A and B are shown apart, each in its own frame.
Chain A
Amino acid sequence: MQDNNLYTIKFMLIICVACAVGVSVVAMGLKPLQMYNAEIDNQKNVLSVVGLLEEGKSYGSSQISSMYKERIKSIVVNGKGEVVEDGNADELDLLTLDETNKGKPEEEQRWPIFEVEEGGKVVTFAIPISGRGLWSALYGYLALDANADTVAGITFYKEGETAGLGAEIRQPWFQEQFKGKEILEGDKLVSIKIFKPGVPIPADMEEHSVHGISGATITSTGVQDLLVKDLNRYKPFFASIWQSEGK
């Protein structure tokens, strides 16, 4: 074995190039598959929040994709709540929605909405939600019924909270509580309030409140805050529906 510097440098160069080539070839070769997986995952999240997936049943990726195509119609609205005609919701990156729209005038903002239609009428709306938890950013969807008032479901697909505590926001017991709750009190947007576990919810708050996770107060508050933030974001769009519902 040679131990002079030139040999060492040459050797390292060869190793580095070889490793880099190997890694790049694999990464580039698998990229299409990974993108497809991410897309299917995203579609699965939307389908699950609007309640089209059966609990505990597993779905193949082709099933998910055809179901999504068949049932979900996505639209894009601007900051004023007006539908953007040439908008493509699938092109918006949900993880950076807040950043990309930040500081833009209302007309130029782009917010996606996913709709389920039945007999030509929208029966469920799903909006992306995101915000801060304790350790990490939380990403999910909130689904509302046709009246844009009753919660049809909530789901979180990306979080890095404490397993067993904050990460419980992914659990059915936490998410089930939201179903049937109402985000409006009269014509006022009150969103959903999260009470500490064990604290009795006052009767007049019953339909706007759920219980949080014990040991995960900051995550729970994070969920409460992000709901307020994102519901207000979509308020201009939903306002017309609320009006037509007589609220």
Chain B
Amino acid sequence: MATLIDKIPGLAQLSKKDREIVVDPLWDNNPITLQVLGICSALAVTTKVQPALVMSAALVFVLTMSNVVISVLRNYIPSKVRMIVELAVISSLVIIIDEFLKAFLFDVAKELSVFVSLIVTNCIVMGRAEAYAMANGPFRSALDGIGNALGYGVILLLVASGREILGGGTWFGLPVVPQFVYDAGYVNVGLMLLPPGAFILLGLIIWVQRSISGKVID
């Protein structure tokens, strides 16, 4: 895993420590599978791949920006109102991304509806602000934000792919289950589109990911 990621251009220029900040949350310390944060939206917006992708992109923006802003302000924020400040920054960023989606990606924004606004309550965002940005410089905080958001996005896309393929027979809107399979009597698994389907898939992914990475922090 690590050697593969070293080959990605851009990442190679970073110091070893910086690289770890980005790469660690993708696998070894994934916010969803290891820390089990951000579950609400991972269950809700994953019936199809496209909204999941947009949701992940929105989170990359919010998490990176909020980490940077909080990190820049970290020496000025009075400690007793620390969390309120974090929340004000995060919610402003979420409203901004929501407005942009409504203006430029109207159809997807309609589908995501309230879940974009609910990024405010995504524990990953607040968690990273508290745990990382309050104690580290803006550059590393940005890397941490990108890494965690991507780690979230990877799992989201996995769950969404599973649900869309099994539940709807399509991937990214394109039919992937060949007609002869349907002719042979196969029926789309409607359960996958319902909340229980998301729970089952996410549970399986967490199990598989944890057994492969071997890093369990229970």
Which A residues are within 8 Å of any B CB, using their own CB?
1-3, 7-8, 11-12, 15-16, 19-20, 22-23, 26-27, 30, 33-34, 37-38, 40-41, 160, 163-165
CB distance from B197 to the nearest CB of A (A): 9
Known contacts A11-B78, A19-B89, A26-B100; 19 further A-B pairs (Cβ under 8 A): A1-B76, A1-B78, A1-B79, A2-B78, A8-B80, A8-B81, A11-B76, A11-B77, A11-B85, A12-B84, A15-B85, A15-B88, A19-B91, A20-B92, A23-B95, A26-B95, A30-B102, A33-B104, A40-B106
Given A1-B75, A11-B78, decide whether A30 and B99 contact each other with a Cβ distance below 8 A: yes
Chain B residues with Cβ below 8 Å from A34 are 99, 102-103, 106
Which B residues are within 8 Å of any A CB, using their own CB?
47, 75-81, 84-85, 88-89, 91-92, 95-96, 99-100, 102-104, 106, 110, 113, 190, 193-194
Return the chain A residue nearest B96 by Cβ: A26
* B47 & A15 in contact (Cβ 8 Å cutoff): no
The contact of B193 among A19, A38, A163, by CB within 8 Å, is A163
* B78 & A23 in contact (Cβ 8 Å cutoff): no
The contact of B79 among A3, A15, A33, by CB within 8 Å, is A3
> Interface majority SS on A: helix, strand, loop or mixed?
helix
Some 11 contacts from A to B, beta carbons below 8 A apart, are: A3-B79, A8-B78, A8-B81, A12-B85, A15-B85, A23-B95, A33-B104, A34-B99, A37-B102, A37-B106, A38-B106
Q: Which of A7, A15, A163, A165 neighbours the largest number of chain B CB atoms within 10 Å of its CB?
A: A15
* B77 & A27 in contact (Cβ 8 Å cutoff): no
* A15 & B89 in contact (Cβ 8 Å cutoff): yes
Return the chain B residue nearest A28 by Cβ: B99
Q: Which of A22, A34, A160 neighbours the largest number of chain B CB atoms within 10 Å of its CB?
A: A34
Question: With A and B bound together, what is the CA distance between A23 and B102 in angstroms?
Answer: 14
Question: With A and B bound together, what is the CA distance between A170 and B162 in angstroms?
Answer: 22
Given A163-B47, A163-B193, decide whether A26 and B106 contact each other with a Cβ distance below 8 A: no
Chain A residues with Cβ below 8 Å from B106 are 34, 37-38, 40-41
CB distance from B4 to the nearest CB of A (A): 36
Question: With A and B bound together, what is the CA distance between A12 and B100 in angstroms?
Answer: 26
Q: Which of B88, B91, B113 neighbours the largest number of chain A CB atoms within 10 Å of its CB?
A: B88
Chain A residues with Cβ below 8 Å from B110 are 41
Question: With A and B bound together, what is the CA distance between A165 and B195 in angstroms?
Answer: 11
Given A1-B76, A27-B95, A34-B99, decide whether A11 and B81 contact each other with a Cβ distance below 8 A: yes
Question: With A and B bound together, what is the CA distance between A34 and B84 in angstroms?
Answer: 30
* B194 & A164 in contact (Cβ 8 Å cutoff): yes
Given A8-B78, A163-B193, decide whether A16 and B88 contact each other with a Cβ distance below 8 A: yes
Question: With A and B bound together, what is the CA distance between A100 and B101 in angstroms?
Answer: 30
* B78 & A3 in contact (Cβ 8 Å cutoff): yes
CB distance from B41 to the nearest CB of A (A): 14
CB distance from B103 to the nearest CB of A (A): 4
Chain A residues with Cβ below 8 Å from B104 are 33
Chain B residues with Cβ below 8 Å from A30 are 99-100, 102-103
Chain A residues with Cβ below 8 Å from B78 are 1-3, 7-8, 11
**5 closest A-B pairs by CB:** A19-B92, A37-B106, A33-B103, A30-B103, A8-B78
Question: With A and B bound together, what is the CA distance between A163 and B194 in angstroms?
Answer: 7
Question: With A and B bound together, what is the CA distance between A126 and B89 in angstroms?
Answer: 45
Return the chain A residue nearest B193 by Cβ: A164
